Amino acid sequence: MVDSRIKRLADILVNYSINIKRGSKIKINLGPEARELGLEAYRLVLKKGAFPIVNVTLPGFAYEYYKNATPEQLKRFPKIAEFEVKNLDGVINIGTEYNTKEFTNIDPKKVAIRSRVLHPLSEIILKKNNWVICEFPTHALAQDAEMSLSEFEDFAFGATNIDWKKESKKQDKLKRILDKGNKVQIIGKNTDLRFSIKGRQGIKCDGHRNMPDGEVFCAPCEKTVEGHIEYSFPAIKGGREVDGIRLGFRKGKVVSATAEKNEKFLHTMIDTDKGSRFLGEFGIGTNYGIKRFVKQILFDEKIGGTVHFALGMAYKEGGGKNESALHWDMIKDLRKGGKIIIDGKVIQENGKFRF
């Protein structure tokens, strides 16, 4: 018997998260661990009269690619993949981490090169605006979260299988505040960051693009960011944990960057391209069902009472203009002594909204 929670999640992904019509061509990407979820989603896509295309990624292949690929192979643009994404109507990505530290000893420059090459494919998918990313609970994620698999399943399904239409209505007020806002100030431990969001639109994240979801974000005006921030949790990229990150900004650009662990990797990532030292996203977590950091950004950036900033690419629907192959979210916990101030008014203090 398939776990009823898996059936509920498949129903959310297919019938809520993305728009699927009769005749739609829908790609389902998954790993072996998510077989039951993938199969349920596949069945539901078929029942809608659409055409599912399934891609199962196997453990170890990505590692071997980055370990052995030559510069020529890394820089080769995948024309077949481009043809596919141009002809798809929607994508369901189901993450199934089996080893979150897999790329720890891979040269980060290789990953950065490949990210730049693949960036146009991501842009095509983003413009179609009909995709969702979901993380399936695996032993690897449970280990990182210091839970048993059963405990992590309860945690994960508790964060995904909720009434997203109701959650969407809750986000409306915060969106209106961001839409009308201009000057933003974030205050917290070793943090005083200021920037403008004038003319930028708040984007609700209510289960349509991430699962779990629960944030409202916008793009800071690129050259207005001033001040400094110390992030509360490790920022994780390609299996590397960068701890104790402190960034200083002047005229929107990162002018100082230090870390207690993996500082060299931090510098490599923020030098990915011309846009990787600028902020592409300012997000406010609204999922108060997620209370703890589990080293998985899809969950962690949604923690109620936190904010996160992404270095690099801005999502264009929020009015952002920054372009980069990098999009790296970093989280600031405001639940103890933190404030979000917009146009001189405190809208959140100690992780609790004041409206």
- What tens digit of pLDDT does each residue of 24-57 get? 999 999 999 999 999 999 999 999 999 999 999 9
Mean residue pLDDT of the chain comes to 95
- What tens digit of pLDDT does each residue of 119-154 get? 999 999 989 999 999 999 999 999 999 999 999 999
| C-alpha to C-alpha distances, 325 to 116, 269, 296, nearest whole angstrom | 5, 10, 20
Q: What is the pLDDT of residue 239?
A: 79
Task: Count how many domains the chain has.
Answer: 2
Question: Are 208 and 302 found together in one domain?
Answer: yes
Q: Which of 129, 160, 191 is the last residue of a domain?
A: 160
Question: Are 196 and 341 found together in one domain?
Answer: yes
Rounded distance between C-alpha atoms, residue 113 and residue 306, angstroms: 31
* DSSP H/E element including 27: strand 25-30
Closest CA relative to residue 133, chosen from 286, 298, 287: 298
Question: Reduced to 3 DSSP states, what percent helix, strand and coil does the chain have, rounded to the nearest 5?
Answer: 35, 30, 35
- What tens digit of pLDDT does each residue of 295-348 get? 999 999 999 999 999 999 998 888 899 999 899 999 999 999 999 999 999 999
Question: Are 14 and 129 found together in one domain?
Answer: yes
Question: Are 51 and 82 found together in one domain?
Answer: yes
pLDDT at 355 over 90: no
Question: Are 142 and 229 found together in one domain?
Answer: no
- What tens digit of pLDDT does each residue of 67-87 get? 999 999 999 999 999 999 999
Question: Are 9 and 124 found together in one domain?
Answer: yes
211-243 burial, b if ≥16 CB within 10 A, otherwise e? bbbbbbbbbbbbebbbbebebbbbbbbbbbbbe
Domain residues for the domain of 169 are: 164-353
Q: What is the pLDDT of residue 318?
A: 80
Q: What is the pLDDT of residue 59?
A: 93
Q: Show the tokens assigned to 276.
A: 């990787």
How many C-alpha atoms does 43 have within 13 Å on its Cβ side?
Answer: 10
- What tens digit of pLDDT does each residue of 266-295 get? 999 999 999 999 999 999 999 998 999 999
Q: What percentage of the chain reaches a pLDDT higher than 70?
A: 100
Q: What is the pLDDT of residue 277?
A: 97
